[in-house]
Amino acid sequence: MKLVVKTICCIGAGYVGGPTMAVIADNCPDIQVHVVDINEKRIKDWNDSNLSNLPIYEPGLENIIERCRGENLHFSTDVERAISDADMIFLSVNTPTKTKGIGAGQASDLKWIEKSARQVAKYARGNSIVVEKSTLPVKTAETIQKILNTENDKKDNQQSNFYVLSNPEFLAEGSAINDLIYPDRVLIGGDNDDAISALESIYLNWVAKEKIIKTNLWSSELSKLAANAFLAQRISSINSISALCEATGADIGEVSKAIGMDNRIGSKFLKPGPGFGGSCFKKDILNLVYIANYYGLNELAKYWQQVLDLNKWQNRRISKIIIKNLFGTLYEKKIAILGFAFKAETNDTRESPAINICKDLLEEGAHLSIYDPKVSSFQISTDLGCSHNYKSKEGSWISCDSIEDAAYNSDAIIIITEWEEFRTLDWEKLSQVMRFPAWLFDLRRITNVEKAREFGINVWNLGATG
């Protein structure tokens, strides 16, 4: 039976749901796409006529929203209506790590997924295809299917058929639109050929057929966890070598280049830094560790746990190095923090290495002046757990509107996020407003450290001795 999709509902208007649906709407003018969310403020922001107020920042997103919103792309809080109108429903709600109960600190909290599945079962009509977009532990599709069937049995009137598919998202924030338009692959897991074809036909509007891989449900779910674990593992590997470079006199830039030119290894994801952040890597590896332990594969669990431990170690060792170089005390010292987002080109701060580093410095009594081109001061205060202009013996922080403001009178500049504008810092100018002896800690190796040195600034460059 051919399943035709004319209307889509996506539950969850976040970093994944929003951009993904925008790209689908842009490429499928005959499909009406409704993105719904229980967060009224988020939906209000998605509908804001001023596009710079969109709830998430992604290069290229504003243009698509401008083209499609109100045409075939709609944002609302009316979840029930959107479900009942839809032929295909994407679940794109968040799945944070559980904070209590069984699996706390490791397993994903599936309460939002379960709640959404129940809503779908209650309000969906006819042959609905339910697509997992959220990253989920392996075998979650089975749970979703069970919920859908159980709720369905309770209906005394019309019965619905549900087909569950897994269609994991591989977009990286900051390049989400580009990743969605030109994916390396699209993965569809499921066991119903009609439902798989219906989803495939949507992607075929802009993705070549050979890039669409079809697998069973569990392979699809596991591939997402495994892909993120492999990527994170590369970062922990290169970061571990960065520390060895500092100890031996090798240079991590040179080592990374030499390793990456081996075709079998490849050059991507070999940039050393303060450790990986973002909403996915840590959560997905924790999930993998939890599943491995659940199946009694304890050695495997330990192996992947080490990737996370190394990441935390990198974070902490950097805080210690900064404190040590600033004569072991940050009391009365002003430190400019350049970048707070977990990576460039996003306003997302989830698991950003900046959070731990700033907290460590505040505890040592530092006064931080933080500048990030896209992160709001409200977000910084939420992440640091203390308000703007907060002052105490433990230190204080303010958020600044420019690099110069942040650097004014500072004893040190720390580059935490690799924003483009930090690549071309004017060290002559900055050296004139800093307090001497002045320090630069470049945690992303993006600025011209030689220039900084020329103007008398002491430099600590990650993964190098000089």
Which residues form the interface with ligand UDX (CB under 6 A)?
A: 11-17, 37-39, 42, 92-95, 112, 115-116, 134-135, 169-173, 228, 231, 235, 269-271, 273, 276-281, 283, 342-343
Q: How far is the CB of 279 from ligand UDX (least distance, A)?
A: 5
**If we measure between CA atoms, which residue out of 175, 234, 230 comes closest to residue 418?**
175
CA gap 10, 85 in Å, rounded: 12
Give me the catalytic one of 245, 280, 358, 386: 280
Closest CB to ligand UDX among residues 135, 223: 135
The least CB distance from residue 453 to ligand UDX, in Å, is 25
Verify whether residue 400 is a known catalytic residue: no
Residue type, 415: I
How many angstroms separate the CA atoms of 46 and 18, rounded? Answer: 9
| Inter-residue contact 328 to 175 (CB < 8 Å) | no
162: tokens are 């549900």
Taking the least distance from each CB to ligand UDX, the nearer of 16 and 326 is 16
Helix axes 17-27, 61-68, angle to 10 degrees: 50
CB atoms within 10 A of CB 389: 11
Work out the number of other CB atoms within 10 angstroms of the CB of residue 53: 11
Residue at shortest CB range from ligand UDX: 14
DSSP secondary structure letters along 61-93:
HHHHHHHHBTTTEEEES-HHHHHHH-SEEEE--
Check if the beta carbon of residue 126 is closer than 8 Å to that of residue 160: yes
**Which residues contact residue 366 at a Cβ distance below 8 angstroms, ignoring those fewer than 6 apart?**
330, 333, 334, 335, 395
Nearer to ligand UDX by Cβ, of 172 and 321: the residue is 172
Relative to beta strand 32-36, strand 161-166 is: unpaired
Strands (E), 416-457: 439-442
In the sheet that holds 391-392, the strands lie side by side as: 391-392, 395-399, 367-371, 334-338, 412-415, 439-442, 458-461
Q: Which is nearer to ligand UDX, 34 or 283 (CB)?
A: 283
Q: How far is the CB of 434 from ligand UDX (least distance, A)?
A: 26
d(CA 386, CA 434): 26
d(C-alpha 133, C-alpha 12), whole Å: 10
Q: List the helix and strand counts (H, then E) for the chain.
A: 17, 15
Cβ neighbour number for residue 158 with a 10 Å cutoff: 8
Cα 19 from chain centroid? 13
User: How many other CB atoms sit within 10 Å of the CB of residue 192?
Assistant: 17
Name the nearest CA neighbour of 165 among 204, 137, 132, 117: 132
Q: Shortest distance, CB of residue 8 to ligand UDX, whole angstroms?
A: 15
Please, what is the minimum distance in Å from the beta carbon of residue 11 to ligand UDX? 5
Q: Report how far residue 8's alpha carbon sits from residue 5's, in angstroms, rounded to the nearest whole number.
A: 7
Q: Which residues are catalytic?
A: 280
